[in-house]
Amino acid sequence: MTTNHTSIDQRCINALRFLSIDAVQQARSGHPGLPMGAAPMAYVLWKRFLNVNPQDTNWLNRDRFILSAGHGSMLLYALQYLAGFEGMPLDAIKNFRQYQSVATGHPENTLVPGIEVTTGPLGQGISNAVGMAIAEAHLAARFNKPEFKVVDHHIYTIAGDGCMMEGVSSEACSLAGHLGLGKLITLYDENRITIDGATDLTFTEDIGKRFDAYGWHVQIVEDGNHDLEGIAAAIEQAKSVTDKPSLIRIRTTIAYGSPNKAGSSGSHGAPLGDEEIQKTRENLDWPYAPFEIPDDVLAQMREIGADGARAQQKWSELFTGYQEHYPAEAKELERLVRGELPQGWTAGLPTYTPADKGDATRNLSGQCLNGAAATVPELIGGSADLAGSNKTHLKESSYLQRGEMGGRIVPFGVREHGMGAICNGIALYGAGLIPYCATFLVFTDYMRGAIRNAALSDAGVIYVMTHDSIAVGEDGPTHQPVEHLAALRAIPNLNVIRPADGKETAGAYQVAIESRNRPTLIALSRQSVPHLEHTGADQVGRGAYVYSDSDGPAALILIGTGTELSLCVEAAAVLEKKGLAVRVVSMPSCSLFERQDEAYRESVLPRGVTKRLAVEAGCDMGWHRYVGSEGATVTINRFGTSAPGAQCLELFGFSVENVVLQATKLLG
Amino acid sequence: MTTNHTSIDQRCINALRFLSIDAVQQARSGHPGLPMGAAPMAYVLWKRFLNVNPQDTNWLNRDRFILSAGHGSMLLYALQYLAGFEGMPLDAIKNFRQYQSVATGHPENTLVPGIEVTTGPLGQGISNAVGMAIAEAHLAARFNKPEFKVVDHHIYTIAGDGCMMEGVSSEACSLAGHLGLGKLITLYDENRITIDGATDLTFTEDIGKRFDAYGWHVQIVEDGNHDLEGIAAAIEQAKSVTDKPSLIRIRTTIAYGSPNKAGSSGSHGAPLGDEEIQKTRENLDWPYAPFEIPDDVLAQMREIGADGARAQQKWSELFTGYQEHYPAEAKELERLVRGELPQGWTAGLPTYTPADKGDATRNLSGQCLNGAAATVPELIGGSADLAGSNKTHLKESSYLQRGEMGGRIVPFGVREHGMGAICNGIALYGAGLIPYCATFLVFTDYMRGAIRNAALSDAGVIYVMTHDSIAVGEDGPTHQPVEHLAALRAIPNLNVIRPADGKETAGAYQVAIESRNRPTLIALSRQSVPHLEHTGADQVGRGAYVYSDSDGPAALILIGTGTELSLCVEAAAVLEKKGLAVRVVSMPSCSLFERQDEAYRESVLPRGVTKRLAVEAGCDMGWHRYVGSEGATVTINRFGTSAPGAQCLELFGFSVENVVLQATKLLG
């Protein structure tokens, strides 16, 4: 059944297999099937092609490797350990999937140097890879010189059948074909087995033809279990095709080598079992104990790291020449790689005063984004075909397109989920690029998988989400967000900011651009709001602050966010005239407020003032935390309706009159 | 520029265009471009092919028509009005997008008889159509007899470029090809213009080849503006291909007929303006006032309704024969169409006692689902490739496959978003089918667009979502939901139920199956829980109930959901031993509880008892509503970690010990 038992190549491949088999068995949990089948392609790729340096996992010009089929995590850990990445010691692998082991169930970029992105949710990794290929091509266009190709490497992924079925990868791969991302090479581990059985059950499309339709270069390796030269030749060929992304269909057998479980879905997500492992050892001629790596194998695999270190050394020499000939460009690129924002970049942000004409916060956002783009050249992004509505066009830049990859406006198309995953790839590429993306707030539903992954993997993506309430108006409930602010605030490690006016919008951009290890979502309005007197750009970072206080101890606190802050301000004026002492709190970001210390939070929302009214044109979920048992909210807990925006607001009680009424009720 | 000015066909097409143009102009809001370009195909389809009866919009064997490009809503409203659907009067069109007009911004099935589904979020409609085609083929397989094809009609959609770019439609269309859904015919309005400009910007894939790869039959009509016979011939041809879904690419000009805006993205989402409308009237030779429909046009269009009524009459005769020859089948089909559950169906649900061995609620769910499937033959669905983990296999049924469409297990594949949208189509098909679908709770993120649309369109889909907390364990944070319960509870009109044991799981299924106009999501555990003494299946419908009370007035209320209820029960026992009077409340569903009257809610959570502790292995968002200012929660507001499930629970404080500790703290 197996060939070349004794060749060093085959022994390395078996080492990858058995580290995976034994770690999964020890954990009594995990996915052995993919590592066993994909070990040959992974070995060929890493040994003969992949330029990575375990000693410097942040090397700019390293090849990027993404295991899109993240459930096969042990394959990646085995590769890392054997290639000499110190962040993945053998002990971690022995403790695969145990508490505090960095060999976690699925690969997590935040835990392990050299793991580029967090994968596991299917389709994300291959879509992240599209983002990385955009980043590579963009930086190459901006920085390379004919004699100094300082950014010139490949992005490799291993993807499985599941990744191919997910819509997010369809979106991202369609865009990759459009852009002609020649540096992107996907090794498709085509084992035709998913958890529920053979792909015959559900997935009989012609995948090669589909990718050909996207504009990809497609090859097939019929025997991915044995044909190492075929795999290598296909990768060579893929590298030679520079104007198209490449898909290499590599036909493999899941759990290859297991006499009774090879080719069966039973090996997908469960340990093989001691008996079957013993049989597999015999079958593959692997007489070593669990986690034992023969010296010759380790030596052969460690060459990967040594080769990578040499490659980086060579590149460093190139870069030294670049520094000499193009010192300004070199300095700028070094700044980017350090992830350092340009000195004084905030000067690009507009300032506003109450005398300025009121405007929709989406328009103010457009001004802030353009202002920031002028001083922050690493800002790059676009909209999912709503640039005119989202106000995200960079007026001084051009579209990023095939042959014009230096453009900063990414033409995402109507592909929200792909857009989100691509931005994660751009953010995690590791060269300081700051991706932003945009659609209507309601359509965050389409890209929530990618937003969560950004939060989980510390990707500093900026989401510009406009049309942030029922005030969208005529488009009706399909386009009117109601539950979205709450649903997004629930995601850990995501900044959600809903600015009230120009100053707060500028403040939101400052937070977003400075948050390089945390994604930030800015919710913006379609309708106009006034520029308020006491708002402050600098206050946004604290999440909430006292906007105004009447004389004397407050009887009531009005809490407003975004477009509803001005309602609170006006209502407070009416209530003050009635002799009531009112505090108005602006709360652009619950998530940022929660990160403040207890003393600050108490200073904004003192325990003693229990009559509190929160006003937000969204659902009430989450607001009881701030209004407490004796408080109330002006919110909307149903879907909206198709009518002009101002009328929608009025209908659902978002008026000064109703805020005054509810506040009065509250005070009894 | 235009031809056949005087033909009645062309006049009808122009009537569709001008109703759209004038309604958008009157509303100063909307999308005129698509209706103007797609009017010819819509006219040909409706006039020559579509069997619909305005007098009986629930006729089982009607053709289904879905405007997937929902922003072109005026086209659908114009078709409906002209064809004689009384639910869409001219007055509604004159009040397009105004409050209380049924001619809403995007089509809403809950408002207008004959509008099959709610569209607007791109890609949903065409995916709903896949669900409808599955429903048609499934019912045909179950009920048709050689001489009585009582279910035998087509599902037509008009989709635009945006629908083609969305991942959800990629997923659904791939499955449609796999299943060979020959009754599904998509007219693709290929105008190559989206909101941001020409599709050249971002969407240059070979769409025909892509659909061919999916296994679709693909045709092209080059001149969709004029070639009515070509459109008709293509539809005829598509109907004749019975083993593949059909895509007809129809090349059109957006805003056809507008001298200055035709072919431009400026016409996509904004009124043409009075001056341009006047020029368009002249250009298309349409001398009528806004909303004026010439008699000959109305007469010609009203024939659509008359033809449909005749078609239904003919079908009724067929059905009468069917009733005579197959009375049992006829009766069953009539029951389905009435949406009436089988008498005594709940007998299929298992019952549990505290003596039963504890189990994971996902396993109990599998028992309930299988039990219900035995007595509710309209239950049909499956998992996104996690059937073994979700426990959703119907043991007594088989896969629904090409040539075996009577099977009740739908092989959705790794296509969560497509799965959700397909289920919406099955639910809204209108023949009583009850779709269920399943994945891990964390991956509701992938299908949230479809879940929201179900809630918005009253689609009684059942979501079986397992692995509902960090107790997932080793798979780690990518697979451990934390924020999902909160995020789902925020969606209006969605039942979210997290049962605590066998009885509550059965109760959850009862609610879900009886909720025919509202989707229900059931969150289920991977880990085992005991069967508790005082839980009740019948209590689930109230959302929350008193599980137990100590003697004497409660000093503390412990609120538990799902797997954490048993922690509360055990903690209460410990606290009682310490002499504290404790009430335990089981709250399987906040959403159902919120629908109870004030008196009932007060009886469960009396205002006077302010010391409350909620325990849920999810984030705290939403819980302050129930625990109030003096309460607290045992929850988790961060991403989880990769470790065995029991250890995860312990690490994050989900232990009896910690619940007791927190309760004690609360009581000071």
What is the 3-state secondary structure of B303-330? HHHHHHHHHHHHHHHHHHHHHHHCHHHH
Mean pLDDT (chain B) is 97
Chain B residue numbers touching A204 (CB-CB < 8 A)? 177-178, 215
Chain B residue numbers touching A424 (CB-CB < 8 A)? none
Nearest chain B CA: its distance from A549 CA (Å): 23
Q: What is the DSSP letter of A85?
A: -
* Nearest-by-CA chain B residue for A197: B385
Q: Which domain holds residue A297?
A: 14-309
In a domain, B317, yes or no: no
Nearest to B202 among A175, A619, A628 (CB): A175
* Nearest-by-CA chain B residue for A172: B167
Nearest to A487 among B202, B487, B628 (CB): B487
In a domain, B331, yes or no: no
Nearest to A105 among B214, B448, B474 (CB): B474
Nearest to A619 among B389, B482, B490 (CB): B490
Strand-pairing partners, residue B65, are B156
In a domain, B324, yes or no: no
Q: pLDDT for B232-272, tens place per residue? A: 999 999 999 999 999 999 999 999 999 999 999 888 889 99
CA distances from A27 to B396, B475, B556 (A): 34, 11, 41
Residues A507 and A568 in one domain: no
The answer to whether A196 contacts B621, with C-beta atoms less than 8 Å apart, is no
Residues B486 and B553 in one domain: no
Nearest chain B CA: its distance from A475 CA (Å): 4
In a domain, A319, yes or no: no
Res. B3: pLDDT tops 60: no
The answer to whether A637 contacts B120, with C-beta atoms less than 8 Å apart, is no
Q: Is A218 left (phi over 0), alpha (psi -120 to 50) or beta?
A: beta
Residues B522 and B553 in one domain: no
Cβ neighbour number for residue B416 with a 10 Å cutoff: 35
Residues A579 and A486 in one domain: no
Cβ neighbour number for residue A653 with a 10 Å cutoff: 16
In a domain, B536, yes or no: no
Chain A residue numbers touching B32 (CB-CB < 8 A)? none
Q: What is the DSSP letter of B270?
A: S
* Nearest-by-CA chain B residue for A607: B629
Q: How far apart are CA B117 and CA B452, in angstroms?
A: 13
Residue B582 banded pLDDT, cuts 50, 70, 90: very high
Query: What is the mean pLDDT of the segment spanning A250-270?
Result: 93
Count of domains in chain B?
3
Instruction: Return the minimum-mean-pLDDT range out of A266-275, A345-354, B498-507, B608-617.
Output: A266-275
Residue % of chain A over a pLDDT of 90: 98
Nearest chain A CA: its distance from B401 CA (Å): 8
Is the distance from CB of B34 to CB of B189 less than 8 angstroms? yes
The answer to whether A411 contacts B196, with C-beta atoms less than 8 Å apart, is yes
Residues B196 and B243 in one domain: yes
Residue ending a domain, choose from A263, A290, A309? A309
Residues A597 and A509 in one domain: no
Is the distance from CB of A439 to CB of A418 less than 8 angstroms? no
CA distances from B321 to A452, B58, B309, B335, B338 (A): 56, 20, 19, 17, 20
The answer to whether B413 contacts A194, with C-beta atoms less than 8 Å apart, is yes
In a domain, B335, yes or no: no
In the set B108, B276, B416, B504, the catalytic residue is B416
**Pairing between β-strand A184-190 and β-strand A193-194 as defined by DSSP bridges:** unpaired
Q: Which of B605, B653, B655, B652 is nearest to B631 (CA)?
A: B605
Instruction: Give the CATH number of the domain where residue A556 resides.
Output: 3.40.50.920
Res. B6: pLDDT tops 80: no
Cβ neighbour number for residue A48 with a 10 Å cutoff: 15
Q: pLDDT for B151-178, tens place per residue? A: 999 999 999 999 999 999 999 999 999 9
Nearest chain A CA: its distance from B174 CA (Å): 7
Residues B501 and B606 in one domain: no
The answer to whether B166 contacts A171, with C-beta atoms less than 8 Å apart, is yes
Q: How far apart are CA B367 and CA A174, in angstroms?
A: 42
In a domain, B534, yes or no: no
Res. A513: pLDDT tops 90: yes
Q: How far apart are CA A367 and CA B470, in angstroms?
A: 42
Nearest chain B CA: its distance from A180 CA (Å): 11
Residues A273 and A360 in one domain: no
Residues B497 and B563 in one domain: no
Chain A residue numbers touching B448 (CB-CB < 8 A)? 445-446, 448
Q: 3-class SS at B388?
A: helix
Nearest to B203 among A166, A178, A208 (CB): A178
pLDDT the model gives residue B268 = 85
Nearest chain A CA: its distance from B2 CA (Å): 30
Residue ending a domain, choose from B495, B529, B563? B529
Strand-pairing partners, residue B463, are B437, B521
Res. B385: pLDDT tops 80: yes
Q: 3-class SS at B558?
A: strand
pLDDT the model gives residue A266 = 85
The answer to whether A196 contacts B624, with C-beta atoms less than 8 Å apart, is no
The answer to whether A178 contacts B637, with C-beta atoms less than 8 Å apart, is no
Does this model's pTM top 0.80? My answer is yes
Strand-pairing partners, residue B464, are B438, B522
* Nearest-by-CA chain B residue for A646: B99
Instruction: Give the CATH number of the domain where residue A487 resides.
Output: 3.40.50.970
Residues A563 and A478 in one domain: no
The answer to whether A644 contacts B178, with C-beta atoms less than 8 Å apart, is no
Q: Which of B386, B652, B409, B390 is nearest to B521 (CA)?
A: B390
Nearest to A385 among B175, B196, B213 (CB): B196
Residue % of chain B over a pLDDT of 70: 99
Strand ranges inside A308-420, DSSP E: 359-360, 379-383
Residues B122 and B232 in one domain: yes
Cβ neighbour number for residue A110 with a 10 Å cutoff: 15
Q: pLDDT for B522-564, tens place per residue? A: 999 999 999 999 999 999 999 999 999 999 999 999 999 999 9
* Nearest-by-CA chain B residue for A440: B121
In a domain, A378, yes or no: yes
* Nearest-by-CA chain A residue for B639: A492
Between the two ends of chain A, the Cα-to-Cα distance in Å is: 83
In the set A108, A416, A504, A564, the catalytic residue is A416
Q: How far apart are CA A173 and CA B139, in angstroms?
A: 36
Chain A residue numbers touching B595 (CB-CB < 8 A)? none
Residues A560 and A514 in one domain: no
B416 is catalytic: yes
Query: What is the mean pLDDT of the segment spanning A461-481?
Result: 98
* Nearest-by-CA chain B residue for A644: B98
Nearest chain A CA: its distance from B108 CA (Å): 9
Res. A4: pLDDT tops 60: no
Residue ending a domain, choose from B529, B553, B573? B529
Nearest to A414 among B106, B165, B493 (CB): B165
pLDDT the model gives residue A2 = 43
Strand ranges inside A76-224, DSSP E: 155-159, 184-190, 193-194, 197-198, 217-221
